[in-house]
Amino acid sequence: MKTARLKVGKDFQISAIDERIYGSFVEHMGRVVYTGIFEPGHEQADENGFRRDVMELVKKLNLSVIRYPGGNFTSGYNWEDTVGPVEERKTRLELAWRQIEPNTFGLNEFFEWCKQVGADPIMTVNLGTRGIKAACNILEYCNFEGGTYWSDLRKQHGYTSSHHVKTWCLGNELDGHWQIASKTAEEYGRLANETAKAMKLIDPTIETVAVGSSTPRLSSYPEWDREVLMQSYENVDYLSLHNYINRSQDEDLAVYKKREPDDTPTYLSRSLAFDRQIKEVIATCDYVKAVKRSDKTMYLSFDEWNVHRYPEQDYEEWKTGSPIDWCHFTMEDTLLFGGMLLSILRHADRIKISCQSLLVNTIPLILTDAGGKAWVNPTYYPMLHASQFGRGILMDSKLSCDQYSNSLFNEIPTVDHVVVKNKEDITIFAINRTEESILLESDLYGFKMEQVIEHIILSSQDLDDCNASDCPDKVSPKRIKNSLLEDGIVKSELPAYSWNVIRIKI
């Protein structure tokens, strides 16, 4: 068995991990809302129409934030259609996904649902077809205590206290040709700057997120990010990153054609693209900081990220709740997903917000059948484990292991990892990217280690294994006795192609 060696020193810490890294995303897209989180008439629906079975799965994730209402949906969003008595709301054409939007689940329903699952909302304003005035109006409706038209309208709708939404995204993917009312970087940067200024006049406590590049696979990346920040640096608080990885998608997102699918080693190495993207965006932010001679550090919001698979169910245009990108994820997808998550955690000194995309029924963590069951994709479990055991201090760590190379990257480690110090334990998240077991020897010098609390694995006999409604636990985590503390070293056997959580009491 090959050996990997990990060193972690008690005094070498990188950053506290912001709890908002553990977030997700709900958009009016396909079946995310309708027959996903909201299905009146379902046997599991509560008095609000929220599916209790879905809520219970969401609650277990202990998500800190959930972004809403999009996504591409936002660039045609008229928030006023979504509030007030449901029977008086207008049914609209929704252009981003070519759906019928009944608006039976709206702004206040979302806030109520967030309260029930224990997450704070992140709102995205429409800077596509709308602008500064509409952004200010929705902020006034949500956050101003009372005595004005929009805040009093909220009270008339039954919400006497403000919603206190702290984080506001200033539009979505406006660099993309697919976006309604897409803009140049200069146009958008000036609009974002002026919108942030106006919104903060209403509520100086809010934070704003400027739209960064939709993906590194656009020719405008990262020049878009540079120009947007040149226009808005002092008035926005975060720059967004988005990225999705599909094993057979063309490298140029402007060209919708498939390429030859990756083999497994290549596919699993693509999480390194996240590390590269994060470093490039940080460099861009710091360049603008230097040019402007600013004392302000720009932090990042990775508010859309996931593995992507092509849909398994047909989509029908101009329907409500027709599936878009409804799919099962495999064990192989889950290992890549785990690697993406570790890339984000590894840069917790600059990434303060992160939203996995999307929560239910669209490249989802959670799947539902309309009128039927709810279950989870295997990708649910790395998110669950990181949210449970990764809320402490990101530790500086050094790993020595075998490496491999391919056409995309050189020096790819066979073991991917992140180490987090919590109040009473050290948690090692580790992925074995190979077809053989690997012995991981962890030297946690400076710490007084008492015992191995547990070693959790997620693996499967076949990398194509997935969970389905009739076998919802086919790929699920197990506690194993593969780790022991011996002579001050934690020795852990990482099974082939596995996600591992190793917890040591200190």
* Residues carrying an active site annotation: 173, 304
How is residue 304 written in tokens?
A: 């859309």
How is residue 94 written in tokens?
A: 């929704």
- DSSP-derived secondary structure for 321-335: S--SS----BHHHHH
Please provide the distance, in angstroms rounded to a whole number, between the alpha carbons at the two ends of the chain.
28
Spatial separation of the C-alpha atoms in residues 292 and 190, rounded to whole Å? 16
Classify residue 385 as exposed, middle or buried by CB count within 10 Å of its CB (0-12, 13-18, 19+).
Answer: buried
Evaluated on CA atoms 249, 255, 257, 260, the torsion sign reads: negative
Evaluated on CA atoms 303, 308, 312, 315, the torsion sign reads: positive
State the residue for tokens 């050189």.
410
Residue 503: beta bridge partners?
427, 454
The count of C-alpha atoms lying within 13 angstroms of the C-alpha of 486, restricted to the half-sphere facing its C-beta, is 7
Residue 339 identity: G
Helix, coil or strand: residue 278 = helix
The count of residues in the chain is 506
Helix, coil or strand: residue 422 = coil
How is residue 109 written in tokens?
A: 């329903």
Nearest to 117 by CA among 455, 332, 429, 359: 359
Question: CB count, 10 Å around CB of 132?
Answer: 16
How is residue 444 written in tokens?
A: 């946690």
